[in-house]
Amino acid sequence: MGALNALFQFGYRRSPDQDRRGGAHHPVVIVGAGPVGLTLALDLARRDIPVVLIDDADRIGEGSRAICFAKRTLEIFDRLGLAERMVEKGVTWQKGKVFRGDGLLYEFDLLPEGGHKQPAFINLQQYYVEQYLVEAVAHEPGIDLRWANRLVGIDKRPDGAVLVIETPEGPYRLTADWVVACDGSRSPTRAMLGLDFAGEAFDDQFLIADVKMKAAFPTERWFWFNPPFHDGQSALLHKQPDDIWRIDLQLGRNADAAHEKRPEVVIPRIEQMLGHSGFSLEWVSVYRFQCRRLARFIHDRIIFAGDSAHQVSPFGARGANSGVQDTDNLGWKLALAIKGQAGPNLIPSYELERGQAADENILNSTRSTDFLAPPTAAERVMRDAVLALAAQTGFAKRMVNSGRLSLPTAYLASPLSTPDAETWEGGVVPGAPMLDAPLGEGGWLTRQAATGRPVLLLNGSEPPEGLPKTVDLLCVGRATHPEIHGHLGRRYDLRAGDACLLRPDGHVAARFRQVNGDVVRQALRRMEGFA
């Protein structure tokens, strides 16, 4: 039951590498052309790093799968020139409602403040995200995307890897300095290396269905505990483009997945929820969730990103979002390493920073899943007590957990950050992701700071002397940018003469009162993994 109208078929094409005696050599091979692999390929290509991207399939679009793309992810896609199309096609939302039985428990607003270019979230089927990425990849001469190329062997070497790739015309070999495995939660690369993917599996099963219907529900995330239409369980309703609605129904731990997937079983369940039968089924799947991660994301020159490195339950939209954020963290570091400009701390910092993010995502997703499906009778009593109190008390509303939605991780212990040497009143601390702000005449900070290189955000019109040439300058002094008194100034606590050094992935590397060339040079060196 695929969404046939949105299925994109690509052709296998023979590569000259398949006829090369002794095998070809490439600086980077990415395994897996999903949202993570495609985004990383684009990022590297924009940094003039040629990429071979292989995928075992020859099509995308089977099921909408990931649908919620978060603000930070959209900022990353915006740097790659894709966010406008995604936001235009997607369903923008930031509000949600949580029900208990048929009564409203509370409402939330994820982005109540203005002054951000991107919305808190859009809902967009993963196949559209992949389609836009594939089209952008097709315009990059530096990316060699090979469909129906399946990795069947990998030999890890201290300085790279030897890959054996199966195609419809037989296998071939190639060597690479770096391999990035973006091949999903069942990562064949991970299996071939024999790596342990440890964590927790949850007992409860969930039915995930996309239905097509005309409906006038608002574009909000609606979540029910113990809904009247689905006895003793939980339910989620969320809108996607093309009149598609995502429905999650908790089935409990003893459900028979094969039985539950049958249309004659699914349709009555959804009829009961919607109160009518004016819909068609687009996609159905039954899942049991897991939260797991690799202990190490880097194995010599083989690096794991996205679901191959860490897996979470879907409540909180932390899967695809964290995967795209992995690529944002890795791209500039890998490019510097390939160009021979990386210090010894740089590549290892990917594992430190994104390992921290994975732990944060797993913690949040585990808490949500345990709240939705309490694993013991005693936990259910406590969970139901929270729900009972939430109707009357503010504190219990805050404990109700129907998914804590994806936020970017602040890398507070990053070896790439220069600790504050001065006093700051709030602002964005080193390691944290940049906060967007309007820059006048329709400009946005996230957009103007997205040069792909480090950026010095300076409150002043005259840069101090002796700034290194490797940093891009963004002068936002009062004379040219009156908004320094608005969102921008407030969010960064920048007085005249102060500056904030942004990494190529938009995280803050350092900030300075009365900046000068020497401190910037030192901070840049640390950011590049020296020091």
Partner 1 sequence: MSSVFAPSPLLTEPRFAAPDEAYRAIVEAQRGLSEGEAAALNARLVLLLANHIGDIEVLRAALQLANESPKQDSQHLAPPGEAR
N- to C-terminal Cα separation, the chain: 55
Q: Which residues contact 386 (CB under 8 A, 6 or more apart)?
A: 371, 396, 399, 400
Q: Which of 138, 152, 382, 412 binds partner 1 (CB under 8 A)?
A: 382
Q: How far is the CB of 426 from partner 1 (least distance, A)?
A: 24
Tokens matching residue 525: 């060196």
Q: How far is the CB of 101 from partner 1 (least distance, A)?
A: 16
Q: Which of 384, 420, 472, 493 binds partner 1 (CB under 8 A)?
A: 384
Q: Which is nearer to partner 1, 198 or 377 (CB)?
A: 377
Q: Which of 386, 400, 450, 523 binds partner 1 (CB under 8 A)?
A: 386
Q: Which residues contact 340 (CB under 8 A, 6 or more apart)?
A: none
Q: How far is the CB of 392 from partner 1 (least distance, A)?
A: 10
Q: Which of 113, 395, 425, 469 binds partner 1 (CB under 8 A)?
A: 395
Q: Which of 111, 265, 281, 399 binds partner 1 (CB under 8 A)?
A: 399
Other residues' Cβ atoms within 10 Å of the Cβ of residue 184: 19
Q: Which of 295, 381, 421, 496 binds partner 1 (CB under 8 A)?
A: 381
Q: Which stretch binds partner 1 (CB under 8 A): 146-154, 261-269, 312-320, 394-402?
A: 394-402
Q: Which of 7, 295, 363, 385 binds partner 1 (CB under 8 A)?
A: 385
- Binding status of residue 496 toward partner 1 by CB under 8 A: no
- Binding status of residue 429 toward partner 1 by CB under 8 A: no
Cα torsion through 261, 262, 263, 265, rounded to 10: -90
The distance from CA 352 to its chain's CA centroid, rounded to whole angstroms, is 17
- Binding status of residue 413 toward partner 1 by CB under 8 A: no
- Binding status of residue 389 toward partner 1 by CB under 8 A: yes
Q: Which stretch binds partner 1 (CB under 8 A): 69-77, 202-210, 331-339, 382-390?
A: 382-390
Other residues' Cβ atoms within 10 Å of the Cβ of residue 413: 10
- Cα–Cα distance between 529 and 531 in angstroms, integer? 7
**CA-only gyration radius of the chain, Å:** 24
Q: How far is the CB of 385 from partner 1 (least distance, A)?
A: 4
Q: Which is nearer to partner 1, 375 or 440 (CB)?
A: 375
- Binding status of residue 352 toward partner 1 by CB under 8 A: no
Q: Which is nearer to partner 1, 85 or 367 (CB)?
A: 367
Please report, for residues 18, 295, 456, 486, 505, the alpha-carbon distance to residue 511 in angstroms, rounded to integers and kept in the order given. Answer: 50, 32, 9, 19, 16
- Binding status of residue 388 toward partner 1 by CB under 8 A: yes
For residue 507, give the DSSP letter.
B
Q: How far is the CB of 370 from partner 1 (least distance, A)?
A: 15
Q: How far is the CB of 422 from partner 1 (least distance, A)?
A: 31
Are the C-beta atoms of residues 115 and 436 closer than 8 Å to each other? yes
Q: Which is nearer to partner 1, 295 or 382 (CB)?
A: 382
- Binding status of residue 363 toward partner 1 by CB under 8 A: no
Q: How far is the CB of 469 from partner 1 (least distance, A)?
A: 49
Q: How far is the CB of 400 from partner 1 (least distance, A)?
A: 12
Q: Which of 164, 213, 281, 396 binds partner 1 (CB under 8 A)?
A: 396
Q: How far is the CB of 204 from partner 1 (least distance, A)?
A: 21
Q: How far is the CB of 395 from partner 1 (least distance, A)?
A: 4
Tokens matching residue 232: 């003793």
Q: Which is nearer to partner 1, 98 or 387 (CB)?
A: 387
Q: Which is nearer to partner 1, 386 or 449 (CB)?
A: 386
Total chain residues near partner 1 (CB under 8 A): 12
Torsion 210-215-220-222 (CA) sign: negative
Tokens matching residue 174: 């190639």
Q: Which is nearer to partner 1, 385 or 421 (CB)?
A: 385
- Cα–Cα distance between 463 and 475 in angstroms, integer? 7
The closest alpha carbon to 154, from 184, 182, 194, 185, belongs to 194
Residue 244 pairs with which residues in a beta bridge? 212, 240
Q: How far is the CB of 396 from partner 1 (least distance, A)?
A: 6
Q: Which is nearer to partner 1, 280 or 393 (CB)?
A: 393
SS (H, E, C) 416-483: CCCCCCCCCCCCCCCCCECCCCECCCCCEHHHHCCCCCCEEEECCCCCCCCCCCCCEEEECCCCCCHH
Q: How far is the CB of 226 from partner 1 (least distance, A)?
A: 14
- Cα–Cα distance between 374 and 369 in angstroms, integer? 8
Tokens matching residue 458: 């300076």
Q: Which is nearer to partner 1, 198 or 378 (CB)?
A: 378
The closest alpha carbon to 185, from 56, 292, 257, 283, belongs to 292
Question: What letters, b where the CB count within 10 A reaches 16 and e where it falls short, cover 226-239?
Answer: bbebbeebbbbbbb
- Binding status of residue 101 toward partner 1 by CB under 8 A: no
Residue 100 pairs with which residues in a beta bridge? 103, 225
The position carrying tokens 């530096």 is 142
- What residue ranges bind partner 1 (CB under 8 A)? 378, 381-382, 384-386, 388-389, 393, 395-396, 399
